[in-house]
Structure 1
Amino acid sequence: MYTENKDKKGFEYIVKSLIAGGIAGSAAKTAVAPLDRVKILFQTSQPAYEKYQGSILGYFRALKDIQLSQGSTALFRGHSATLLRIFPYSGIKFMAFEQCKRVLIPTKEYNTGPRNFIAGSIAGCIASGISYPFDLIRVRLAFEVKSSPLSISQVCKIVYNEPNHLVKTKGTILNFYRGLTVSLVGMIPYAGASFYTYEMLKKRAMDISICRNDNPPPALNWWSTVTIGAVSGLIAQTVSYPFEVIRRHIQVSTINDTSKQSSFFGTAKGIFKRKGFKGFWVGLGIGYLKVTPMFAVSFYTYEYCKILFNIA
C-alpha cells in the first residue's frame, strides 16, 4: 500500500491537514507582507507608485516611501484581511490536495507529474473559490495610499454597494466575486505547477536517498524542503503571472469609477494598450522576491506541522 495515503480518509487527518495548511499559509504570508503590498500597488498601476516600476531598486524605494509617508504599519496594510483569507485558503488548499492525491494517486506507481498537477489545480481552485471575497477585500485595502486608510468594514460596505452590470443593481454579494473567473483560470497553472514541482522534486530527492541505501529513507532535511519549496514558487509564479495582473486590475477597477467594470478580455486589452506586452509582467521581479521565501516557508511549515501533528 502507498504509505502516503495512509489514513487520509479519517476525519482526524482531514482536520489536522487543514490546520497545518492554514498555519503554513499564515506564516508564509506574514513573512512577505510588505513585498506583497508593493507588488499589488505595482500590478494595479497605482499612480503614486508607477515611478518606482522597472527596476529591483524601485521595489525597495517604494517600501521606503510607504514607510516614510504612511508609517511602518502601512507596510502591512490589508494584512489582517490577508490572514482572514489565507488561513482558510491555505488550509483548504493543502487538505484538498491531500484528498485529491488519495483519489488520483492510490499507490506509488500512480505518483506521476500530471496527476500531481491535476490534484494541485483542483485543490487550488476549490480553495480560491471559497476564500475569494477576502482576497478582493485585501487588494482593495492594499491599494489605498491615504494616511487614514479605510477599515475592513468600510471597504466591505463600499464593495457591496457598488453597481453590478450583471444584475443591474446596487447592493449584491456578487460584487465580492469580481474577477473570480480569471482567478480560477490562473489558479490552474499556479497551484498545479507549484504542487507538481514540489512533489516531483521531493520524489526525486527521496529516490536519491533510497539509492544511497538509507533504509528506511529519511525524511527531507529542512534545507531540502526550503529549496524545493522556493523553486516550486518561482515556477508557479512565472506561468501564472499575467492572470494575476489582470485579476488585480479587475478587482480595483471600480474604485475611481463605479461604472467601470471590465471583463477579462477588456482588462487585458486595456493593459496591452497602455503598456504593451510588458504590462502583463509588471511587478514580476518583486513577485519572485516574494514567492521564493513565501513558498519556502509555506512548504517547510506544512511539512513541520504534519510531523508535529503526527500525520506525516
Structure 2
Amino acid sequence: MFTNPLEIVKIRLQVQGEVAKSIEGVERRSAMWIVKNLGLVGLYKGASACLLRDIPFSAIYFPGYNHLKRDFFGESQTKKLGVVQLLTAGAIAGMPAAYLTTPCDVIKTRLQVEARKGETKYTSLRQCARTIFKEEGFQAFFKGGPARVLRSSPQFGFTLAGYEVLQKILPMPGSESEGPSVGGHAEPAVGLQKATAPLPYLRSRNALKIILDLDESFGMPKTPMGKGWMPLSGIRS
C-alpha cells in the first residue's frame, strides 16, 4: 500500500525511456509531472495486483528463509549464524518467491503502464489475465521471471542480513532482561540467587510450592466452641 505509487511512477519512467528511443518527437515527462497527472487515485492504480504479488511473495519467502536458517544452517539459541550464512539463506529463499509470483507482477505492470494508441488497454485483474492468456499464451505470464530472480534474490538477502545484524547491535529495550537466557534456561531471581534450571522445572517447582503453601483447613468452618476445625459434614451431623 505504501510503495504502489513509487511502482507506477518507476514503471512509467522506464517505459517512457524505451518509447523515446523508438519514436521521435515524444516529449519526456518528469516524475513530478506523472504524479500530478495521475492524482491520488491514479497513483494507486494496480494496487490490488501489487497486493496479489507481494502477499504470496512474503508467504513463500519468510518461511523459506526461516527453514534454511534453522534446518540447513543449523541456527539455534546456542548457535548464531554469520553474515555470509544469513545472506545465502535470504538469497536462496528469494529465488522461488520471486519466480513463482512473476505472473502477478506481469499483470501489475500491464495495468500500471500507460496504454498508447493501437495498444491493448487493461481495465481489471480478470480482464488483464484473460487478455494476456488469449493474445500471448501462458508463457507470457513468466516473462521477466529470471530478471526478477536476479533482482529480488540479492535484494532481500541483503535486506534480512542487515536486519539480523542490526537487531544484534541495536536490541530493543528490555529484550535482554525479559527474554530467556542462552540455551533455553530461564534466569529469574529467587531470593538473592539466580536460578539456572530449565524453565519447565522452575514452573513445576513454583506450582508445587503454591500447592504446599495452601492451608490444609481451607474450606472448613471453625466449631462454635473453638475446639478446632472440622468438616462441614461433622457440623451437620
Q: Same fold (TM over 0.5)?
A: yes
- After superposition, the C-alpha distances for 1:217-271 in whole angstroms (9 at most, x for unaligned) are 2321112101110111112112211011000000014455899452111111222
Please say if 1:159 is aligned against 2:20: no
* 8 A Cα contact 2:13 2:31, kept in partner: yes
Amino acid in the other structure paired with 2:134: K
| Structure 1 match to 2:71 | 204
The one-letter amino acid of 2:78's match is P
Aligned to 1:269: 130
1:1-312 paired onto structure 2 within 5 Å: 129-145=1-17, 146=20, 149-160=28-39, 173-205=40-72, 208=74, 217-254=78-115, 260-311=121-172
How far the C-alpha of 1:205 sits from its partner, in A, is 4.7
Contact 2:102 2:145 in 1 (8 A): yes
Which residue does 1:170 correspond to in 2?
Answer: none
Deviations 1:43-71 (A, max 9, x none): xxxxxxxxxxxxxxxxxxxxxxxxxxxxx
- How many residues align? The count is 166
TM-score (norm 1): 0.48
1 CA distance for matches of 2:131 and 2:82?
A: 47
State the percentage of identical aligned residues. 24
Tell me the distance in 1 between the aligned counterparts of 2:90 and 2:11.
25
CA distance 1:194–1:255, shift in 2 (3 Å): farther
Structure 1 unaligned regions, length at least 5: 1-128, 161-172, 211-215
Pairwise CA RMSD of aligned residues?
2.6
- Structure 2: 5+ residue stretches without partners: 22-26, 176-237
Instruction: State the SS of the aligned residue for 2:79.
Output: coil
Counterpart in the other structure of 2:185? none
Aligned AA for 2:161?
A: Y
What TM-score do the two structures reach when normalised by structure 2? 0.62
Q: Which has the higher helix share?
A: 1
